[in-house]
Amino acid sequence: MSDRVAVDARIVSALRAARRVVILTGAGVSAESGVPTFRDKQTGLWETFDAAELATPHAFQRDPSLVWGWYEWRRATVLGAKPNSAHRAIATMEKLVPHFTLITQNVDDLHERAGSTGVLHLHGQLSRPYCEVCHHSYDHPEGIPDLPQGGARIEPPRCGACGAMIRPGVVWFGEHLPDVAWRSACEAAKHCDVFFCCGTSSVVQPAASLTDMAIRAGATTIQINPNATDYDGSVTVAIQGPAGIVLPRIVAETWRSA
Ligand code: APR
């Protein structure tokens, strides 16, 4: 996508008039920070695994050290990454609209590190491990885990309270989304004027249904993705391009004099 192509006038006018703006982000927003998406081919120890197969309660029960090691490797990648221009543009937009809701499927903290507040994490957070039995929450030790190149199996730590395994603080396939975050996300999607779905393949439910809610509510819906998705034909505008280029341009063009 060329930097010189003008932003669709419908986006600019909808954003200027909007009271409530919602952005749903997915792994594509962190891709430009070097965090692989779920559909990217994996590398190292994980090469022969599909990410979706590692992200299940069953996988953790069957092979805890493989799954814990994979999440430690992802956590190390995230800790070594920096927010990109898409994260920063979203944090800027939050300050420019009356009511702004950021909903993310990402388990990293790159939105927060870019300055976003009140982020609704639908799929949990890498930084919040907890006991799989008594649900006591834990902090990871400070710093980036020192892992062999390509990653390694790592035995999960044990809960100090009940001795069960500590599990990653993420929502796995087949698990319920955190109730408060999900309800708040639905409320926001059903009552917004402008809704972005950005950097998501929109194949994982129920997160993808938020876009349907916004469409049904009559919001201006904008998809940003370099690749096609099933929503290309149903959103108001589908912009084919990387979030790190498209979002800053939308912010710049909408609030030129802000
Ligand atoms: N800018 C915008 N979008 C991008 C970029 C980019 N620079 N690079 C890649 N993408 C798009 C891809 O085209 C793809 O459609 O990001 C999307 C990433 O899709 P997924 O990997 O499926 O990520 P996501 O939609 O967040 O997945 C949802 O599935 O695996 C589970 O729980 C996991 O939260 C995750 C959920």
Report how far ligand 1's centroid is from the alpha carbon of 161 (Å). Answer: 37
Report how far ligand 1's centroid is from the alpha carbon of 106 (Å). Answer: 9
Q: How many helices (H) and strands (E) does the chain have?
A: 10, 8
Report how far ligand 1's centroid is from the alpha carbon of 105 (Å). Answer: 9
Q: What is the mean pLDDT of residues 60-74?
A: 94
Please say whether the dihedral angle defined by the alpha carbons of residues 108, 110, 112 and 113, taken in this order, is positive or negative.
Answer: positive
Q: What is the mean pLDDT of residues 106-133?
A: 98
Q: What is the mean pLDDT of residues 37-48?
A: 77
- What is the per-residue pLDDT across 153-198, written as a single tens digit (0 to 9) for each? 999 999 999 999 999 999 999 999 999 999 999 999 999 999 999 9
pLDDT (0 to 100) of residue 246? 97
Q: Which residues contact 208 (CB under 8 A, 6 or more apart)?
A: 197, 200, 202, 231
Q: Whose CA is nearest to atom 36 of ligand 1?
A: 204
Q: Whose CA is nearest to atom 29 of ligand 1?
A: 204
Atom index in ligand 1 nearest the CA of residue 107 equals 34
Residue with the two structure tokens 């070594």: 80
- What is the per-residue pLDDT across 237-250, written as a single tens digit (0 to 9) for each? 999 999 999 999 99
Atom index in ligand 1 nearest the CA of residue 38 equals 21
Q: Residue 151: how many CB atoms within 10 A of its CB? A: 21
Atom index in ligand 1 nearest the CA of residue 39 equals 21
Which residues' Cβ are closer than 6 Å to ligand 1?
26-28, 31-32, 37-39, 51-52, 55, 105, 123, 199-201, 204, 224-227, 229, 242-244
Please say whether the dihedral angle defined by the alpha carbons of residues 177, 72, 108 and 225, taken in this order, is positive or negative.
Answer: negative
Q: Whose CA is nearest to atom 2 of ligand 1?
A: 199
Q: Whose CA is nearest to atom 16 of ligand 1?
A: 28
Q: H-helix or E-strand containing 24?
A: strand 20-25
Q: Whose CA is nearest to atom 34 of ligand 1?
A: 105
List active site positions. 123
- Poorest-pLDDT segment among 4-13, 58-67, 137-146: 4-13
Choose between 88 and 256: higher pLDDT.
Answer: 88
Q: What is the mean pLDDT of residues 57-82?
A: 95
**Beta bridge partner(s), residue 220:** 194
Report how far ligand 1's centroid is from the alpha carbon of 84 (Å). Answer: 15
